[in-house]
Structure 1
Amino acid sequence: MEKFEERWPKPTSRFVRRCLKKITRRTPQWESQMSESEYKLGLAQSLVGGGKVSRRDFIHLGIAAGLTVAAADTLFVARARAEPMHGGFAKLGMAHGATTDSIDPAGYPDTFTQTAFSGSLANSLTEVDAKGNVQPDLAESFESSDGAKTWAFKLRKGATFHNGKTVTADDVVTSLQYHMGKDTKSAAKSLLESVAGIKADGPETVVFTLKSGNADFPYIMSDYHLVIMPAKDGKADWASGVRTGAFLLENFQPGVSAKLKRNPNYFKNGKPYLDEVEFIAITDLAARMAALSTGEVDYIGRADLKTLGMLKRNPKVEIVEVTGYGHYTLPMNAAMAPFDNPDVRMALKWAINRQEIVDKIFLGHATVANDNPIAPAIKFAKDPQPQHNFDPEKAKHYLKKAGMENLKVDLSVADAAFAGAVDAASLIRETAAQCGIDVNVVREAEDAYWDNIWLKKPWCASYWSGRATADWMFTQAFAADSSWNESFWKNPHFNELLVKARAETDEAKRAGMYAEMQQLTHDDGGSIVLVFNNFVSAQSKKLAHGEVAPNWENDGLKMAERWWIATA
C-alpha cells in the first residue's frame, strides 16, 4: 500500500473520501446474498459509470474494493468506454480530401466532405441507424398516403440553425429544390427526379408529391447531399456554412482540414459528446497509418490492410471492421469506344481473377462480387449467374465476338479510389495479358482524383459506400440521367424497370423486377463490381462509441456526433 500511495497520491476530493469510507464498511445485512467484494466492486463501477470520479481516484476506490492497481485501471477504462462522456477534442484522419473541396452539398464526393459537412455540420430529414433502418433526424416523424405517392414530414419542434433561426418547412423546401431543376449541378438530382412537387403545409410540415409510389422514399431523404440549409431570398444559403448539425464550422482549409466546435443548442438532447473535432485530410496511406501510430490523430479511415497485424499489436490502438454495403468498382465508359461494345465489356469481366485480388490485396477483408452493386444484406438482393471468374477462353471468345484478336486499354488508378487499387490493377494487367488484352496501368495523382479522373477517364477505379435500398443504389449510380452514372450506361429496359419497381406495391413482383435489373447490370452493365469491401478503420482506445452503422464509412458519417473521449 505504501508503494501504491507513492505512485497514486491520496485523493483530495471530499466526495471520493466519502466513497472510500462507504466501500470499506462491512457489507449491509440486506445484501447478504452478495459477497462483500462483489458489493464493493459494483459500487466502484457505478461511480465511474456516472462520470463522478477521475481515473486516479477510481484506482483508490478499486484498491479499497480489493483490486490490484492494474485490475482497477483496466476496469476503469472498460467502464468509461461503455458510458458516453462529454468533453474533449478528437482529431480524425480522413482517407480523402482535395483542394477543390467545398461546403456546397451539391458535391461531397468523398468521405472527407461527407463526414465533416454532412454528418457533423448538418442534418437531413432522416438518417439510417446501425441496423440499417431509416429513422427521423431533423424530421420528427413521417407518413405516407395515396399508395406512397404522398409523403408528409413533420419537423422537430425547437430545432434551430447555428445562427439561432428556427428551422421551418420553407427552409426544407428551398434546400431540396436546390438539387432539382435542369440547371442544378447536384449529384442528388437523380434521387429527386420522381418528385412532382414539394410544398410547406404550415411552418412545421413538408409534403412531397411523387410521380409514382415509392415505399423507400424516407431512405432517400437521408442522403448526405440533401442536408437542410436556411432559406435566404427564396434560395438555399449553402455558402454561409450555417446548418443545423451537432457542430459549427470554425475553420476550413480545402484539402487540409476542417475544424468544428460543439453546437450548444443542438436539438438532440445530450449530443454531441465532443467539444471540438478536426477532420484532417491524409490521402497517403502510409502517412495515415503513421499519423495514428504517433498520436497525431485519434482515428484513421481505411487502414492499411497489409500492416493491420502490426497495428493490432499496438496496445493503444483498436481496429474497427464493419461489413456494410460498400463495393469497389472499375467503371468503363459505355458511351466511348471500345467500351461501347458490350462484348468488350464482357471480355474484361472474364479477364479478372477476383478471388486472387480478394486474397492478395484485401487479405480476407472483402468478398468476391459479381458485377452487381446490390450487397447481399440489402432487401431484394440477388446473385446473378454465372459468376464471372477468371476464364481466358471466355474472355477470348467475347473479344473475338467483338471482332478483335487483341485489345489495348488504359486503366487509370490511384489509392485515393480505394486502398489497394494500384496493386489490384497490376494483378488485372497480368491476368488480362493471358486473354489477349494489354492493360496499361496509369497511376494517377492522389490529389483531386475525383475531379480529374473519375467520370472523365474512359476506365478507372472507383468506390461506393453502397446504399440501404436497391432503388437508391440503382437510381444514383446506374440511372441513365444520373450525374453519378459512372459508366455512362444507358439501358432502356433497365431504366423502365427502375421506374416500375419503385412504384410496385406487390412485393413478389417488385422482387422479380429487381432481380432482372441485377442480371442486366451483370450481363450488360459498364461497371465491373470487383468486391464487396469491409469498412476497416483504426482508432486510439481513448475514443469510444456504440454499435457502428454499416450504411456509410465513419459510423454512417455520424462519428463526430456519436463518439466520445473515453479516458482522461
Structure 2
Amino acid sequence: MTIAGTAGSGREQRRSDPSMDRRSFLRSVAVGGAALAAGTLLDACGSPGAAQHSTAASSTGSASGTPRRGGDLRVGLTGGGSTDTLNPFDGGISAIGTARAQQLYQPLIQLGNNAQLQYVLAEEIVPNGTTSNWIIKLRKGVSFHDGKPFGADDVIYTLRTILTQKLGGATVLTPVDVKGLKKLDDLTVEVPMTSPFGSFPQQLASFWYFLYIAPDGWKQANPPNGTGPFKYKSFTPGQESVFVRNDHYWKAGLPYLDSVTIQDYTDPTSVQNALVSKVIDCTGQLSGAQMKSLQQSSGIVALPSRTGAIQPFTMRVDRAPFNDVNVRQAFRYIVDRPELIAASLGGFGWVAADVTSPYDPDYDQGLHRQQDIPLARHLLKKAGYDNDLKVSLDTSLGVSSTALSMAQVFAQQASAAGVTVTINQISATTFFSNDYTKVPFAQIYYDYSPYLAQVAQTFLPTSPFPETHFNDPRYTNLYYEANKTRSPAVRKEIEHEMQQIDFTQGGYIIPCFVDSLDAYSSKLAGYETGKVGEPLGNFNFEDFWFRS
C-alpha cells in the first residue's frame, strides 16, 4: 500500500506496507511450478443471461459521443510498494501491477470485460488434430516499442522463460512440453502438450496478467519494451508510473490519451479524497460505503460491475468438523445470502449457490440455495453436534476490504443454528505466510474464471491453491473426461455432474458473486463495466478519452 498526503498536495511521499494483500499473495505464489491439471473448454465463454442487478448501470458507462485525442489520465490505486517492478513476468502480482503492465505489454489472449475470450496478440489458438497439440497463429503488423517486429520467437522465448524459471504463469503452462515448442513460421507457433489440455485458451485467458509477451532475449535489467498502447516514460516504485502514447500502436487510431499516470495511495480513503478533489480522474477497488457516497458527488460517475468474482468461505474436507459432509452442508444452509450481501457489501453483489463461474456457458442455472436453519440444525445433529459446535474462522483484510464484515455477518447468522464462530482476524502477512490453506476454516478471493479453469486452480489433487483439500476420485475423473471430449454437449453434461458434486459435497461456501466498484470523473469517457473483477474494466485505458 501507499501513503499519500492530503488531496491536492502535489507529488506524494510514500511508504511501503509490510503486509501482503491476498491478491499479491495468490499471484506471487502462482505457484512456482505447481501443476495445473488439464481441462477442456473449446468454446468461448458466454453470459448465462442472469437477471439485471438492481443497482447496475449499462455495460458501457461513458462511451457515448465522438472520441477525441489528447489529455493526461491520472489513475489512483492502492496496493503498491517499494519492491514494485515493470517486469512483464511480474505484471499480475497486484492489481496496481496489472494496471501498469496492461499499458506496456499484452498477452496472447485474455478475458474481456464481457467474460468471453478476447484474442490480443494471437489471432487464433486451435488444437492441431488433438488437444495434446496446439497451433497459435499470431497477429500481423505488431511491433514492440523499440520498433522490433513481434513474432513467433518472442512467444517461444516468453513461454520458455516462464516455465524454466517457474514464474507465475508456469501454473497455467505446466502441461506444455517446453522442449517441443516449435516455430512453424514467423507468425505461427506449435505447442505440444505432455497430456491433453483442451482448456488451453481458457487457462491462458484466465491468467493473462502473468502471461504478457516479452521480446526475444529481454532481461529484467532491460528497459520496458512491450507491444501495448503506451510506452514507458518514468517509474518510481511505490509512488507513480508515467506512460506516454505509443504512436505506432497496432490498433488504428488508439490510444486517444497522450499519457497515463498511475499514482500510488496508502488507503481507499485517500484515493476517494483525491477523486473528489480532482487530483485523479478515476479509481477502483472501492467499498460499498464509498460507492454510495461517490454516487452523490457532483462531477463523479460511480458504477458497479456485476462480476463473477467470488469470496468463498473455505472448509477443509479432511479436517474436523468439516470432514463430515453434513457439517459442510449445514454451514451452507446457515447463510442468509441476501442479508449478507446487504450487510457486508452494501448491496453490491448477487446471490450465489456455492458453485463458481456463473458466466461460463456450462454453468448450471438450476442451482439455488436459501437459508434453512431447521435443516442446518438437523444436519448438525446428524453429525453429532447439537448446539455445541464451535469453530474458528481465520480472516484478514488482506483477503479483501469486506472480508471481516462478511465474517461477522456469517458468525451472527451461525448462532441461530447453535454454532459459535470465533473470528480470528490476523494480519495479511501472518495470514498468507502461515499458509491459509492449512487452517480448517478461512476466507479467500478470486476473480472470475471459466469453470474448468477454476476447478484446476482449486479442487483437484494437483491444484496450486487447495484451500479445501478436496480429493474426490469421481470428480477428478470427470474433470479428465471433460478434458478428452470434443463434444460441447457431452462436456456440458460432465460439467453439470461436477457442479452437482460441488453443490452437495464441496468445501466452498460461496454466498454471492461480488461486484467490482469503480468511480471516475464525468469528463472521462470510454469506460466499460466488466464481469471479470479487475478494476476499471481490466484497466483498458487505451479506450479512455476526455470530453472537451
The alignment's TM-score, normalised by the length of structure 2, stands at: 0.77
Instruction: Give the structure 1 partner of residue 89 of structure 2.
Output: 105
Name the amino acid aligned to 2:486: T
State the alpha-carbon separation in 1 of the partners of residues 148 and 105 from structure 2.
14
Q: Tell me by how many angstroms 1:93 deviates.
A: 2.5
Deviation at 1:525, TM superposition (A): 2.3
Return the index of the structure with the highest Cα Rg. Answer: 1
Q: Give the match for residue 315 of structure 2.
A: 332
Q: 2:252 aligns with which of 256, 266, 269?
A: 269
By how many angstroms is 1:472 displaced? Answer: 2.1
For 2:472, the equivalent position in structure 1 comes to: 491
Residue 208 of structure 1 is aligned with which of 160, 182, 191? 191
Q: How does 1:397-416 map to 2 (within 5 A)?
A: 397-398=379-380, 401=383, 406-416=388-398
Task: Note the alpha carbon deviations across 1:315-348, whole angstroms, 9 max, x for none.
Answer: 2101222223222222234455554554443343
State the number of aligned residues.
482
CA-based RMSD: 3.3
* Amino acid corresponding to residue 379 of structure 1 in structure 2: P
- SS in structure 2 of the partner of residue 195 of structure 1: coil
- Listed one character per residue, the Cα deviations across residues 381-407 of structure 1 (whole Å, up to 9, x for unaligned) are 014656152526525633651668634
Whole-Å Cα distance in 1 between the matches of residues 438 and 251 of structure 2? 41
Per-residue displacement from partner, 1:135-167 (whole Å, max 9, x unpaired)? 331124444431454332222334233343332
Secondary structure of the 1:228 match is coil
Paired residues for 1:66-215 under 5 Å: 82-98=65-81, 101-102=84-85, 103=87, 105=89, 108-117=92-101, 119-180=102-163, 184-186=166-168, 188-196=169-177, 197-210=180-193
Q: 2:176 is matched by which residue type in structure 1?
A: V
Structure 2 Cα separation of the partners of residues 264 and 458 of structure 1: 53
Distance 2:525 2:382 in 1: 56
* Cα separation, partners in 2 of 1:128 and 1:221, compared to 1, 3 Å: same
Could you list the per-position Cα deviations for residues 501-557 of structure 1 after superposition, in whole angstroms to 9, with x for gaps in the alignment?
133122222111111111222223222212112222111112111544423423542
- What is aligned with 1:60? none
User: Aligned in 2, Cα 1:97/1:445: closer, same or farther, shift over 3 Å?
Assistant: farther
Q: Which amino acid aligns with 1:483?
A: P
2:499 to 518, 532, 539: 518
Secondary structure at the counterpart of residue 159 of structure 1: coil
The alpha-carbon distance between structure 1 residues 536 and 167, as it changes in their structure 2 partners (threshold 3 A), is same
Distance 1:315 1:552, change over 3 A: same
State, as a whole percentage, how many aligned pairs show the same letter.
25
What one-letter code is carried by the residue in structure 2 that aligns with 1:530?
P
Distance 1:481 1:143, change over 3 A: closer
Tell me, in whole angstroms, the C-alpha distance in 2 between the residues paired with 1:138 and 1:215. 20
Q: Decide whether aligned partners of structure 1 residues 127 and 385 sit closer, same or farther in structure 2, where only a CA change above 3 A counts.
A: closer
User: Match of 1:120, SS?
Assistant: helix
- Provide the residue aligned with 1:295 in structure 2: 278
Residue 318 (structure 1) aligned with residue 319 (structure 2): no
Q: Which residue of 1 aligns with 2:215?
A: 230
Conserved 8 A contact 1:396-1:436: no
Partner of 2:22: none
Assess if the C-alpha contact under 8 Å between 2:362 and 2:492 holds in 1. yes
Q: Which residue of 2 aligns with 1:389?
A: 371
Equivalent pair of 2:397/2:427 in contact (CA under 8 Å): no
Q: Which amino acid aligns with 1:495?
A: T
CA distance in 2, matches of 1:483, 1:321: 30
* C-alpha distance in 1 between matches for 2:326 and 2:238: 40
In structure 1, the residue matched to 2:351 is 368
Paired residue type of 1:315: S
SS in 2 for 1:424: helix
Whole-Å separation in 2 of the counterparts to 1:185 and 1:404: 48
Please give the alpha-carbon distance, in whole angstroms, between the structure 2 residues aligned to 1:453 and 1:278.
Answer: 35
Cross-structure match for 1:54: none
Which position in structure 1 is the counterpart of 2:486? 505
Residue of structure 2 aligned with 1:563, choices 527, 538, 544 = 544
Tell me, in whole angstroms, the C-alpha distance in 2 between the residues paired with 1:320 and 1:448: 33
Deviations 1:478-522 (A, max 9, x none): 333232344343333222222221331222221111111112222
Confirm or deny: 8 A CA contact 1:132 1:550 kept in the other structure.
yes
Greater relative contact order structure (CA < 8 Å, 6+ sep): 2
CA distance in 2: counterparts of 1:280 and 1:457, whole angstroms: 36
CA apart distance, 1:85: 2.3
Letter in 2 for 1:518: Q
Which ranges in structure 2 are unaligned for 5 or more consecutive residues?
A: 1-60
Pair 422,80 (structure 1): closer, same or farther in 2 beyond 3 Å: closer
C-alpha spacing 1:384/1:520, structure 2 compared with 1 (3 Å): farther
Supply the AA of the counterpart residue of 1:225: F
Secondary structure in 1 aligned to 2:181?
strand
